Amino acid sequence: MGGFDLTGLSVRPSQVWGGVRLVPLVRAEPIRTLRLHAEVYRSFGVVDVDHRTTYLSYIPHGFVATWTRDGTPAAAYGTEIAETPSSCMPLRFHRRMARRTDKNRLRFLPMHLAMEGYLALHFGGPRIVWEEWSQRAVRHGLSPRVEQAYTGAAVDGLADALRIFEIHPGQCGVLVYVADALAAAFVVPHPDDYRALHPTLIQDLYGELVYHYATFSSPVPQFRVQLDDTSITTLADLRAEATKQQLAWPDFHDSAMASGLLDATYDVRRVYRMGDYTLARFLPGFRLKQENHIGELITDRRGRTAYLKTFRLSENQIRRGHLLTQLAGHDWHLRDTAAALGVTEAQLGLRIESAGFGALLREDVLARYRASQRTPQSR
C-alpha cells in the first residue's frame, strides 16, 4: 500500500480526546527478532552528517535497534523517559544520523533521520552556472536550510490523549489524528517496545499544520457503532452484526482516513542494512494541495514494515519541496522550469523568493522580476 506493507497490523476502534483521535495498531504476531529501545538525551543536538554538513536540532532521544541473525528473540535493553531539572539546555554531539554501536545494535535519531533527508533535498543547488543564480547559490547551494517544527507537548490535547487512553493488548503502533487530519504514524516491532516508547510521542516533532489544527479546531466526533436491530432476533444474529461492524471500521479507516498516507508513492532511500532488516527514509511526491508525509521505516526481507515513523509536511513545506524538485528536474534552468509549471520566468523567480530561497538569485535579476510584475498605476 503506497510503499508500506503493513501485513500483520490491524486497526482498533479510535479513541477521541477533544480534537485528537488515536487509532491503535495491533499486531497479530509480534516481531521477536528485532527490538527497539530509547536512549534519552533531552538536549540540543549537533549531528555530523558528513565532513561538510552539520544538522542542528533539539533531539530528546535516540532509538537503538537490536536484532538477531539466527531467528532467536532479540531483547530490548530498556527505556527511561524521565524529567530531570536542568538550569540550561545541554549540548550533545552525535556522529551521523545512524551509527552502529555493536555487532547487532544500531543507534539512529528518530524523525531527525527523515527531516535531514527533507532538508538535504537538492541541497547542493544549481549544477550549471546559469547567469540568474547568485555566487552564494553556486558556492554554497541551499546552505543553511531551516525548517520549523513543534514538539508534541505544544500540540493541544495530545499529552492528555496519550496519558488517558489505555494501551491495547498486542498494540504495536498508533495513528495520531488532529482535527481528523493524519498527523503521524508510529509502528514498532513488539508490544513491549510500544509500551516503553509510547511516552516518546509527546517529545516527537509535529508540523506547523498539525499545531494550528490542534489550537483552533473543535472536538472531533466519536464513531459510534450502529447495529441494524431489525435483523437481529437471536444471539447468533447479534454476533454476526457485531462482526460486520468490526470489519467495517478498518475498511472505512484505510480508505477514507489514512488514504493520504497509504495510497501515496514515495522515494525510499536505504540508510543501513541490519541483518534481515533495512532502515530507510522516504520522501513524498510533493503533490500540491494534497497530504504529504516524510518519514523513516524498517522493513524485513519481504518488505513488511517492522518500524515506521512519519511527519506531515505543511503547505509551505510541500511547496518548497515541489519547487526544488521542479528546478532540479530541469537542471535549474529558470525558463525551462517556468514553462513546465505554466508560469512566466518572472513569476517563477518571485515564487523562489517567497519560498525563502531569494538569496539564491542575483539581486539585479530579482529586481527585474519584481519590476515586470508591477501593475502601472493610473495618474
Mean pLDDT of the chain: 90
Return the number of other C-beta atoms located less than 10 Å from residue 212's C-beta.
Answer: 16
% of the chain beyond a pLDDT of 90: 73
The domains of the chain are located at 9-315, 333-372
Residue 305 or residue 239, greater confidence: 305
Q: pLDDT tier at 88 (50, 70, 90 boundaries)?
A: low
- Tens of pLDDT, residue by residue over 177-222, are 999 999 999 999 999 999 999 999 999 999 999 999 999 989 998 8
Residue 162's nearest CA partner among 15, 59, 293, 42 is 15
- What's the Cα-to-Cα distance from 223 to each of 179, 199, 249, 254, rounded to whole Å? 14, 26, 9, 15
Count of positions (residues) in the chain: 379
Residue pair 21/180 in contact by the 8 Å Cβ criterion:
yes
Evaluated on CA atoms 185, 23, 66, 261, the torsion sign reads negative
> What is the spatial distance between Cα 112 and Cα 92, in angstroms, rounded to a whole number?
14
- Tens of pLDDT, residue by residue over 97-107, are 999 998 899 99
> What is the spatial distance between Cα 114 and Cα 294, in angstroms, rounded to a whole number?
6
Q: Where are the alpha helices (DSSP H) in 169-301?
A: 191-197, 208-216, 235-252, 259-262
- Tens of pLDDT, residue by residue over 103-146, are 899 999 999 999 999 999 999 999 898 999 999 998 999 999 99
Strands 277-283 and 150-151, by their bridges, are unpaired
Does this model's pTM top 0.85? My answer is: yes
- Tens of pLDDT, residue by residue over 310-343, are 999 999 999 999 999 999 999 999 999 999 999 9
Tell me what pLDDT residue 81 has. 47
Lowest pLDDT segment from 150-159, 234-243, 323-332, 366-375:
234-243
Strands 91-95 and 34-48, by their bridges, are parallel
Tell me what pLDDT residue 1 has. 38
Peptide bond into 144 cis (omega under 30): yes
Taking CB atoms within 8 Å and a gap of at least 24, the contacts of 256-261 are: 257/23, 257/177, 257/180, 257/182, 258/175, 258/182, 258/185, 260/182, 260/290, 260/291, 260/293, 261/2, 261/4, 261/182, 261/185, 261/291, 261/293, 261/310
185 Cβ contact list (under 8 Å, min separation 6): 173, 174, 175, 176, 258, 261, 293, 295, 308, 309, 310
Return the number of other C-beta atoms located less than 10 Å from residue 20's C-beta.
Answer: 27
Amino acid present at 234: T
**Grid coordinates of 311:** 511527519
